[in-house]
Structure 1
Amino acid sequence: MIVVKLGGSLSHSESLIKCLNNLEQNYAPNAIVIVPGGGAFADQVRLAQQRWQFDDLTAHRMAILAMQQMALLIKGLKRCFTIAHSVNDIKKQLSRQRIVIWSPDIVELDQAGIEASWDITSDSLAAWLASTLAAKELILIKSAIIDKNFNLQQLAEHDIIDQGFCDVVSQATFKITIINQQNC
């Protein structure tokens, strides 16, 4: 099984549909779970938090809702994909050989002890999901240019991946691939 995190910023160009088409053509019927970034919806959460100064827990939950909105957008573009909200639901859908879009359940993430912080974004959530599902690979598709010479720590320092990612994957048994949207 492969977990693919699609950066939310892909929705600002034709890259989103191109990547979705490539995933559908190159991976189906293999087990694949798409983790959507929050994109412009998450950007609005950041702006609202700056304006209103509410706590990180509230912002975290609102950012999860942003990911859910992106899941609906992807489903709207790819009617044959299916949305799953929980780990158990993902497993059921994968057994039916469907491409699954994860629309994360806030309660499940809270129960898993996921930190409510901007250091933990959809990158780290995708890594958590890949670990929880015992995926063989996690692919992060980013709009940023990826320097192949950078290690994960350097990617975090350059804000290519979130600050918590390295901790989440420290014990990972799956392969991690980070690519630019042009290569998807």
Structure 2
Amino acid sequence: MRFYVVKIGGSLIGCAKDIVRRLFLLSENGYGFLLVPGGGPMADLVRSLYKSGLVSDEAAHWMAVLAMEEYAYLLADGTGAELVDDPCPSQDIRILRPYRYLLKNDSGLEHSWDYTSDAIAALVACRLGSDMIKVTDVDGVMISGRLVSEIRASELMGLRSCIDQGSLRIIGSCGSRCFVLNGSIPERLIAMMEELPERCHGTVIW
């Protein structure tokens, strides 16, 4: 079985359910996926409130995690994927409810905007000993306008990119890889995922 933790970004909210449904095609061929939702527009609202000085770092952290949980219900709605609080590798499509999961143990996460849903997905992948796929609306990590096919997490520290700084710290410390793939065209995404880990049509961070 090939198992991955898959972070589905909020930028893909319009096609996210299609992605989930298509992942079932891979599960029939020996793949298992634990989906970690992004925060989407719900987390954007939290960030706006934080920038306005209306909430603290601590409150914003948990509000943003709750925003991820809202997205989890959207991903599960009508797709057949199961919502879970205690993840484990399985040949199935499951969606993590991050708030319930992290209430039990969120060690390894700072309560700051350096640690967003990317970092939560990276932490889950690290705990499960799995590689992570970040599904987003860009082709991968861009440096000076150029797509980078492979890069160490440490080389991205301090640089602005499509993945947060907390994720880089976690990936760099636990040995998991992160594959950054464009999910804007769901059928193309599935084809790219079938070629992992031998070939990545995006960026591999390790």
TM-score (norm 1): 0.83
Q: CA RMSD in A?
A: 2.1
Structure with greater helix percent: 1
Matches within 5 A, 1:21-100: 21-28=21-28, 30-78=31-79, 80-85=80-85, 89-91=86-88, 94=89, 97-100=91-94
Contact 1:4 1:35 in 2 (8 A): yes
Give the letter for the 2:64 counterpart. A
Contact 1:155 1:161 in 2 (8 A): no
Q: What is residue 107 of structure 1 aligned with on the other side?
A: 103
Q: What is the Cα deviation at residue 155 of structure 1?
A: 8.6
Give the letter for the 1:37 counterpart. G
Please point out which of 128, 138, 148 is paired with 2:132: 138
Farther-moved stretch of structure 1 (122-131 vs 97-106): 97-106
Can you list the C-alpha shifts for 1:112-154, whole angstroms capped at 9, x where unaligned?
242101000111111100010111x210011134243263444
Aligned to 1:171, the other structure's residue is in SS state helix
Contact 1:120 1:163 in 2 (8 A): yes
Aligned to 1:2, the other structure's residue is in SS state strand
Q: Which 5+ residue runs of structure 2 have no aligned equivalent?
A: 190-206
Please point out which of 106, 111, 114 is paired with 1:116: 111
| Aligned equivalents of 1:144, 1:156: Cα separation in 2 | 20
Q: What is the Cα deviation at residue 49 of structure 1?
A: 1.5
Task: Tell me whether 1:171 sits opposite 2:165 in the alignment.
Answer: no
- In structure 2, the CA distance between the partners of 1:177 and 1:38, relative to structure 1 (3 Å rule), is same
Give the letter for the 2:33 counterpart. I
Task: Tell me whether 1:129 sits opposite 2:131 in the alignment.
Answer: no
Please point out which of 3, 6, 10 is paired with 1:4: 6
Q: What is residue 149 of structure 1 aligned with on the other side?
A: 148
Q: What is the Cα deviation at residue 156 of structure 1?
A: 6.8
Contact 1:156 1:165 in 2 (8 A): no
**Identical pairs, percent:** 30
Structure 1 stretches (4+) deviating beyond 6 angstroms? none
Give the letter for the 1:108 counterpart. K
Aligned to 2:165, the other structure's residue is in SS state coil
| Aligned equivalents of 2:169, 2:21: Cα separation in 1 | 32
Q: Which 5+ residue runs of structure 1 have no aligned equivalent?
A: none
- In structure 2, the CA distance between the partners of 1:175 and 1:18, relative to structure 1 (3 Å rule), is same
| Aligned equivalents of 1:165, 1:177: Cα separation in 2 | 12
Can you list the C-alpha shifts for 1:33-92, whole angstroms capped at 9, x where unaligned?
0000001010010111122432111000000000100000011131x211112xxx223x
Q: What is the Cα deviation at residue 174 of structure 1?
A: 2.8
Aligned to 1:164, the other structure's residue is in SS state helix
Q: What is the Cα deviation at residue 98 of structure 1?
A: 3.1
**How many equivalent pairs are there?**
173
